[in-house]
Amino acid sequence: MRPQRTSRSRTLSRRAFLAAGGAAVGGAAVAACGWPAGAGSHTGVPGGRAPVALEFWGGPNAEQRQDQVAAWNQAHPETQVTFRAVPAVGQGAEALQTFAAAVAGQTAPQVLDFDRFQVATYVNWRVFRPLDGYLTRGRAELEGFLPVALDEAYGFDKRLYGLPSSVDNRLLYWNKARFAEAGLDPETPPATWETLKAYALQLGRRDGAGRPDRLGFHPQAGQASLHLFAWQNGGGFQAPDGKTATLGLAPNVAALRWMTDLVDDLGGWPSLRALQEQWTSRPSAQHPFLSGELAMQLHLPDWAGVVLGRYSPETAFGVAAPPVRRGGDPPLTWSGGYSYVMSRETKHGDDAWELIKWLVGEGGCGVAYDGELSRARAVGGVYLPGLTGQPALDAKMFARYRTGLPAVDAVAEVALRLLPRARTRERSIAAADLWDGVLRAQGAALSGQNDPQQALEGNNALVQRALDQAWVFAPR
């Protein structure tokens, strides 16, 4: 889940959810969205029988999914899969309306690679099929997964609806060359918020007009977000029962105020926004961390594989746990990712389950990683896989794809060690509204539009309205 992606929040009743889909069904509407009405026919199955046709939608990592589907189809002539990259399985409240059109029009795919934190919301709309009936006795398929990798894929009915396709956590990356230039120990990253702020100021640089042109840290770049800082400060955004929004809690306000104070100390929001806009307009190969314009960042483990290792493997960098609120606090990061889920109305549940099991196993992951390795080598780089949430499989894959570059390989070791220390977003039946509300509050406060407390309390009211409406239609 990526904090820089925001969506305009919309609250939908169950009636509006179905109406949103009903207004967009029909061949022309489906074709305009780029979604096929059904999979094509195939031949080559023994006995002349037409193969089972499965539709598979995904958002991120489209090239990996295409590689996996090609390998699956070659090995399984009896079950042929068509993959489509569809943004509607991503983050934000607007995705709810887009996916609703396919559900209402009965054109939803059998399998989706779906943003895991939104699973509970869509379970509430009865569009996913629980996987409990497919798990063998003893739930052997789940034994290799860490609980943090599975938690978000459960509904409030305590049934499992997805298996992780990707698992991430937030790590602190620092540029060792910039540390040395600033007189800091290149082998010692900041361990607390206090030292993070001090290092950020020491590592920054300003031009002749006094504007920052190099930053030590940007509180809204990479994977920096209020979520991590608030949780590290003892806060949270929703009560455990899932019915009450808690954006305005004092620990959340204090964490956001710390972020806004840091923005001011670094040069003010207009200057930081100008730098961020300049950075985001560039291709990945010109990322500010690679160019030395950003000395520290919070980012995902797979960023080292798909960006740093691919385009600048010679960069001298380190990776560690995110700084904590105060010395002595235990490490705390946060984890997200996607999961393979099954549409409720699929007529080929057994076939879809076999595909999902293969995708999360060593065979499916190996195909995805081999493709990424090939693409990295094509531009002179290296590749390191991300996490699957299965420690034994992750360790095996990290050993297989070891790059030989100590700094890059260390990312895998740190990420795997920190995963049990990760927290996930609160399970919510209004997950997109909760996500959007926190990000709106963060943006309003950092930009100076609102005081941190006003920003959080104002968005709390919007999130609470969404929760209240969603719970009206929750299963009894």
The answer to whether residues 119 and 230 belong to one domain is no
Whether residue 19 is predicted with pLDDT greater than 70 in this model: the reply is no
d(C-alpha 116, C-alpha 171), whole Å: 20
Cβ atoms within 10 A of the Cβ of 420, count? 13
Q: Is residue 424 part of a domain?
A: no
d(C-alpha 304, C-alpha 310), whole Å: 8
Average pLDDT score over residue span 13-41:
34
Cβ atoms within 10 A of the Cβ of 339, count? 27
d(C-alpha 437, C-alpha 155), whole Å: 21
* Residue with more model confidence, 100 or 22: 100
Whether residue 175 is predicted with pLDDT greater than 80 in this model: the reply is yes
Dig out the tokens for 432 from the structure: 């997109």
What separation, in Å, do the N-terminal and C-terminal C-alpha atoms of the chain show?
30
Instruction: Of 99, 73, 97, give the one whose Cα is nearest residue 86.
Output: 99
Q: Is residue 310 part of a domain?
A: yes
Indicate the residue type of 24: A
Predicted TM-score (pTM) above 0.85: yes
The answer to whether residues 154 and 209 belong to one domain is no
Instruction: Of 91, 101, 147, give the one whose Cα is nearest residue 121.
Output: 91
Q: Is residue 399 part of a domain?
A: no
3-state secondary structure the chain: CCCCCCCCCCCCCHHHHHHHHHCCCCHHHHHHCCCCCCCCCCCCCHHHCCCEEEEEEECCCHHHHHHHHHHHHHHCCCEEEEEEECHHHCCCCHHHHHHHHHHHCCCCCCEEEEEHHHHHHHHHCCCECCCHHHCCCCCHHHCCCCHHHHHHHECCCCCECEEECCECCCEEEEEHHHHHHCCCCCCCCCCEHHHHHHHHHHHCEECCCCCEEEECCCCCCCCCCHHHHHHHCCCCCECCCCCCECCCCHHHHHHHHHHHHHHHHHCCHHHHHHHHHHHHCCCHHHCHHHHCCECEEEECHHHHHHHHHHHCCCCCEEEECCCECCCCCCCCEECCCEEEEEECCCCCHHHHHHHHHHHHCHHHHHHHHHHHHHHHHHCCCCCCCCECCCHHHHHHHHHHCCCCCHHHHHHHHHHHHHHHHEECCCCCCCHHHHHHHHHHHHHHHHCCCCCHHHHHHHHHHHHHHHHHHHHHCCCC
The answer to whether residues 160 and 178 belong to one domain is no
CATH number, domain of 456, equals 3.40.190.10
The answer to whether residues 236 and 322 belong to one domain is yes
Q: Is residue 2 part of a domain?
A: no
Residue 461, pLDDT score: 98
Residues 6+ positions from 367 with CB-CB distance below 8 Å: 67, 68, 71
Residue 46, pLDDT score: 58
pLDDT grade, residue 94 (50/70/90)?
low
- The residue range of the domain holding 319 is 171-333+430-472
Residues 6+ positions from 433 with CB-CB distance below 8 Å: 9, 10, 11, 93, 462, 463, 466, 467
Q: Is residue 382 part of a domain?
A: no
* Residue with more model confidence, 15 or 191: 191
d(C-alpha 435, C-alpha 438), whole Å: 5
d(C-alpha 168, C-alpha 298), whole Å: 12
The answer to whether residues 77 and 138 belong to one domain is yes
Percent of the chain scoring above 70 in pLDDT: 86
Q: Is residue 423 part of a domain?
A: no
Dig out the tokens for 446 from the structure: 């950092």
pLDDT grade, residue 1 (50/70/90)?
very low
Residue 18, pLDDT score: 41
d(C-alpha 296, C-alpha 288), whole Å: 10
The answer to whether residues 328 and 468 belong to one domain is yes
Q: Is residue 402 part of a domain?
A: no
pLDDT grade, residue 207 (50/70/90)?
confident
Lowest mean pLDDT among 13-22, 123-132, 308-317: 13-22
Distance of CA 449 to the CA centre of its chain: 27
The answer to whether residues 147 and 185 belong to one domain is no
Whether residue 5 is predicted with pLDDT greater than 50 in this model: the reply is no
Whether residue 241 is predicted with pLDDT greater than 50 in this model: the reply is yes
The answer to whether residues 344 and 282 belong to one domain is no
* Residue with more model confidence, 97 or 449: 449
Average pLDDT score over residue span 245-262:
98
Dig out the tokens for 438 from the structure: 């926190």
Indicate the residue type of 461: A
The answer to whether residues 344 and 322 belong to one domain is no
Domain endpoint, select from 369, 392, 422: 369
Q: Are residues 127 and 102 in contact, defined by beta-carbon separation less than 8 angstroms?
A: no
Output the CA–CA distances (angstroms, integers) from residue 295 to 172, 267, 305, in the order listed: 11, 16, 19
Residue 17, pLDDT score: 44
Lowest mean pLDDT among 25-29, 387-391, 394-398: 25-29
Average pLDDT score over residue span 35-42:
34
The answer to whether residues 58 and 93 belong to one domain is yes
Distance of CA 417 to the CA centre of its chain: 19
Dig out the tokens for 223 from the structure: 């994977």
Tens of pLDDT, residues 423-474: 999 999 999 999 999 999 999 999 999 999 999 999 999 999 999 999 998 8
The answer to whether residues 186 and 282 belong to one domain is yes
Quote the number of domains for the chain: 2
Does residue 389 come out as left (phi exceeding 0), alpha (psi in the -120 to 50 range) or beta?
left
Q: Is residue 313 part of a domain?
A: yes
Residue 305, pLDDT score: 86
Report the chain's mean pLDDT, rounded to a whole number: 87
Tens of pLDDT, residues 330-389: 999 999 999 999 998 889 999 999 999 999 999 999 999 999 999 999 999 999 999 999
Instruction: Of 280, 125, 262, give the one whose Cα is nearest residue 194.
Output: 262
Whether residue 13 is predicted with pLDDT greater than 50 in this model: the reply is no
The answer to whether residues 36 and 159 belong to one domain is yes
pLDDT grade, residue 36 (50/70/90)?
very low
Residues 6+ positions from 452 with CB-CB distance below 8 Å: 253, 256, 257, 260, 441, 445
Residue 102, pLDDT score: 78
Give burial (CB, 10 Å; 0-12/13-18/19+) of 350.
Answer: exposed
Residue 436, pLDDT score: 94
